[in-house]
Chain A
Amino acid sequence: MIHDAQKGDLEAFNRLVLAHQSRVFNVALRIMGDPDSASDATQEAFISAYRNLRRYRGGSFQGWLLRIVTNACYDELRRRKRRPATSIEELSTEPDGNPGEPRLSLASRHQGPEAAAEDAELSRAIEDCLRRLPDEFRVVAVLADVQGYEYAEVARMVGKPLGTVKSRLARARGRLRDCLRHYGELLPSSLRLQDERA
Chain B
Amino acid sequence: MMRRLSDLPLRDLELLSAYLDGELTPREAGRLQARLDGEAGLRWALEELRRTVSVLRSLPEVRPPRSFTLTAEAAGSRARAAAYPVLQLATALATLAFVAVVGLDALSSRATGVALAPTFREQGELLTAAPVEEATLAPTSEPPQALSASAPEEPPAASEIQAVGSATPEVPIGLEIERSSPGAGPGTATAFPTAMPEESSAADQTGPVEGTPCEACGGGQAPAEAEPLIGAAPLGSPSAQTTPTLGPQAEKLGGEPEIADQANAPAAFSSPSSTARPSLPTLRLAEIGLGLAAALLASLTFRVRRKR
Contact = CB atoms under 8 A, between A and B. Distances in A.
Contact of A146 (B13, B14, B57): B57
Contacts of B44: 194, 196-197
Contacts of B16: 170
Contact of A170 (B17, B51, B59, B63): B17
Interface string B40-54: 010010011101111
Interface in A146-198: 146, 148, 150-151, 166-167, 169-171, 173-178, 180, 187-188, 190-198
Interface stretch (B76-84, B149-157, B247-255, B264-272): B76-84
Contact of B77 (A43, A47, A144, A146): A47
Interface residues of A, number: 62
Nearest to A144: B21
Contacts of A178: 4-6
Interface in A67-115: 104-109
A89 B10 CA distance: 33
Interface in B32-86: 41, 44, 47-49, 51-70, 72, 74-75, 77-78, 81-82
Which of B16, B51, B67 has its CB near the most chain A CB atoms (within 10 A)? B51
B18 interface: yes
B41 A50 contact: no
A117 interface: no
Closest 7 CB pairs of A and B: A170-B17, A145-B56, A174-B5, A14-B69, A25-B64, A170-B14, A177-B52
6 contacts: A29-B62, A43-B68, A47-B74, A50-B70, A171-B6, A177-B48
